[in-house]
Amino acid sequence: MIREDFAKELGLKVYWMKRPQPVVGCFGGKTSKRLQYWTSFTLSSADGMSWNSNIIYAFVTKRLAKKMLLGLIFLHL
């Protein structure tokens, strides 16, 4: 997941999904929101040459405690 303002700051193109994806909160297990936007990007080493990731697909959300949350596969296209 990536916060909307950080995606804009990085200049990432944000896409709309036809079917919103339900998201379950960490506490309580209730569906808290349906996310409708996603983006893609790659990560690389500080020098930009010695390592590059595969394409990462991430949900875009307005409410996230950190700028970006990486971990498990969140989005399948």
The domain locations on the chain are 2-61
Number of H helices, E strands in the chain: 1, 4
What secondary structure letter does DSSP report for 28? T
Number of Cβ within a 10 Å radius of residue 40: 14
Encode pLDDT of 18-75 as tens digits: 998 887 765 555 656 788 999 999 988 888 789 888 899 999 988 788 888 877 555 5
The reported pTM is 0.73
Q: What's the CA angle centered on 56, arms 55 and 57, to 5 degrees?
A: 120
